[in-house]
């Protein structure tokens, strides 16, 4: 039964009982049972910092000068990973907001509405096109799940506002050949969605040399979104958007401090900024390299264990996502959910999807594979 807004306040002990019950029903990354999320458990120190900055709202930055300073340091540090140099940078709620802003800018800059996207593009682009009255045109993928560049090239025309590439696709972790696409985008906005791969590729490149580049060293890349709240191990919500040119689009915010707003949100919860500042400074590149390498080793381990029980990978993993052919993934996912396991699915081709995040340990993989062996 729906509960009315209470007439009188209740005793904290009574409230805590209910809160604890709700909390206990939530799944926790620490259980090792979540394979279907691109987020993960933040570091202990960053959880502590998060709670200390719970009031902060960089929608009104003059009130939070210390947090604003940390934000600038985060932007500079992450910018140096992707050679952003003098690029403009924004903190956002995540990849969705970044992709919307990228297409918004493309439309304003070019006055055009056609958006060329790989079929692997995240559904946030569908939202963006609907909001902005833009027209998506999807490009088929090659067998390795990267975009077919030959088809893409033919689709760019005088109506095109933007071309999008994905560095770490949601379903398979595939990385589009950004270097090959960039030279084709002279007259259009070229946006790279590195929401997932942005905190994997820079730390893998030294160890797995075959990975393509994604950053501003590639001439032609106009904007990049990468999400600390995915493989950056930040508490949610935090996405970072970089634009080679400062393309304006500042909306005046006369009743607040600051020089106007560029993000979609007005008031924006900002505790993840000091929390992520702490995470990145605590781990350093060396820490991220170790974490990312462990995720990759666990991804290869997942593939070998799944093969043992008869599941074939859809592609060999490039990043820490493993997907396996299956005609009826929803049936398995539903039954696994009843057993408190969260796994996900791919749509094209249909299959099971495992995101091997830092909270996933070998023993969790062994246990989930043992459960899945019942279906083979
Ligand atoms: C490649 C990619 N882009 C964008 C997004 C959207 O990110 P968010 O849910 O943080 O808005 C996701 C989310 O999974 C993603 O995988």
Query: Can you give the residue ranges of every domain in the chain?
Result: 46-280, 284-375
CA–CA distance, 214 with 202 (Å, rounded to integer): 9
How large is the average pLDDT for residues 274-287? 98
Beta strands 321-325 and 351-355, pairing class: antiparallel
- Pocket probe mutation, ligand 1, options 103, 195, 347, max atoms within 8 Å of Cβ: 195
Least Cα distance to 59 among 232, 265, 356, 212 occurs for 265
Task: Name beta bridge partners: 354.
Answer: 322
Beta-carbon contacts of residue 116 (< 8 Å; ≥ 6 apart)? 137, 139, 152, 155, 156, 160, 162, 163, 164, 188
Q: How far is the CA of 6 from the centre of ligand 1 (A)?
A: 37
Neighbours of 122 (CB within 10 A): 20
CA–CA distance, 232 with 42 (Å, rounded to integer): 9
For residue 197, the ligand 1 atom closest to its alpha carbon is: 1
C-alpha triplet 356, 20, 42: angle, nearest 5°: 30
Percent of the chain whose predicted confidence (pLDDT) is above 70? 99
DSSP state of 346: E
Fold held by 46-280: 3.40.640
Q: Quote the pLDDT of residue 247.
A: 80
- Residue found by looking up tokens 């993934």 in the block: 329
Q: What is the mean pLDDT of the chain?
A: 96
Edge-first strand listing for the sheet containing 239-243: 88-92, 239-243, 223-226, 189-193, 160-166, 114-118, 135-139
Q: What is the pLDDT of residues 121-164, one digit of tens each?
A: 999 999 999 999 999 999 999 999 999 999 999 999 999 999 99
Predicted structure pTM score: 0.97
CA–CA distance, 111 with 159 (Å, rounded to integer): 9
Q: How far is the CA of 332 from the centre of ligand 1 (A)?
A: 24
Our answer on whether the CB atom of 124 is closer than 6 Å to any ligand 1 atom is: yes
Q: What is the pLDDT of residues 337-375, one digit of tens each?
A: 999 999 999 998 999 999 999 999 999 999 999 999 987
Q: How far is CA 49 from CA 53, 161, 244, 309, in A?
A: 7, 41, 31, 43
Report helix, strand or coil for 188: coil
Distance of CA 218 to the CA centre of its chain: 21
Class of residue 298 by CB neighbours under 10 A (exposed 0-12, middle 13-18, buried 19+): buried
Our answer on whether the CB atom of 225 is closer than 6 Å to any ligand 1 atom is: no
Nearest CA to ligand 1 atom 15: 170
Say which range, 161-170, 208-217, 254-263, has the weakest mean pLDDT.
208-217
Least Cα distance to 239 among 62, 89, 55, 41 occurs for 89
Token pair of 49 as six digits: 């910092």
**CATH for 284-375 (3.40.50.450, 3.40.50.10580, 3.40.50.300, 3.90.1150.10):** 3.90.1150.10
Q: What is the pLDDT of residues 306-348, one digit of tens each?
A: 999 999 999 999 999 999 999 999 999 999 999 999 999 999 8
Q: Tell me if 291 sits within 8 A of 280, measured CB to CB.
A: no
pLDDT category at 253 given cuts 50, 70, 90 is very high
Token pair of 10 as six digits: 């209740």
- H/E element, 354: strand 351-355
Our answer on whether the CB atom of 319 is closer than 6 Å to any ligand 1 atom is: no
Our answer on whether the CB atom of 196 is closer than 6 Å to any ligand 1 atom is: yes
pLDDT category at 213 given cuts 50, 70, 90 is confident
Task: Give buried/exposed letters for 133-162 (b at 16+ CB in 10 A, else e).
Answer: ebebeebebeeebbbbbeebbeebeeebbb
């Amino acid at each position: 039964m729906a509960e009315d807004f209470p007439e009188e306040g209740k005793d904290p002990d009574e409230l805590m009982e209910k809160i604890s019950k709700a909390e206990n029903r939530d799944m926790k990354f620490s259980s090792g049972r979540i394979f279907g999320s691109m987020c993960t458990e933040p570091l202990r120190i960053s959880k502590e910092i998060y709670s200390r900055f719970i009031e902060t709202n960089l929608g009104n930055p003059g009130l939070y000068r210390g947090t604003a300073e940390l934000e600038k340091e985060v932007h500079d540090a992450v910018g140096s990973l992707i050679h952003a140099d003098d690029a403009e940078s924004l903190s956002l709620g995540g990849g969705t907001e970044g992709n919307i802003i990228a297409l918004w800018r493309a439309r304003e800059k070019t006055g055009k509405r056609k958006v060329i996207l790989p079929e692997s593009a995240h559904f946030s682009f569908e939202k963006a096109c609907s909001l902005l009255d833009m027209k998506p045109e999807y490009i088929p993928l090659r067998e390795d799940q990267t975009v077919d560049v030959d088809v893409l090239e033919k689709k760019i025309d005088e109506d095109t506002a933007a071309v999008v590439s994905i560095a770490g696709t949601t379903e398979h972790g595939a990385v589009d050949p950004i270097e090959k696409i960039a030279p084709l985008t002279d007259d259009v906005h070229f946006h790279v969605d590195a929401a997932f791969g942005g905190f994997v590729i820079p730390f893998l490149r030294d160890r797995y040399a075959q990975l393509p580049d994604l950053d501003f060293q590639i001439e032609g890349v106009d904007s990049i979104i990468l999400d600390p709240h995915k493989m950056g191990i930040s508490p949610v919500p935090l996405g970072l958007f970089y634009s080679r040119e400062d393309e304006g689009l500042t909306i005046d915010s006369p009743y607040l401090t600051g020089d106007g707003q560029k993000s979609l949100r007005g008031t924006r919860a900002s505790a993840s900024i000091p929390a992520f500042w702490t995470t990145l400074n605590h781990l350093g590149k060396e820490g991220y390299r170790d974490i990312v390498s462990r995720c990759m080793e666990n991804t290869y381990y997942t593939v070998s264990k799944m093969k043992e029980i008869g599941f074939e990978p859809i592609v060999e993993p490039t990043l820490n996502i493993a997907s396996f052919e299956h005609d009826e993934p929803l049936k398995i996912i539903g039954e696994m959910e009843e057993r408190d396991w969260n796994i996900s699915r791919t749509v094209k081709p249909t299959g099971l999807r495992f995101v091997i995040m830092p909270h996933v340990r070998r023993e969790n993989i062994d246990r989930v594979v043992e459960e899945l062996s019942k279906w083979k």
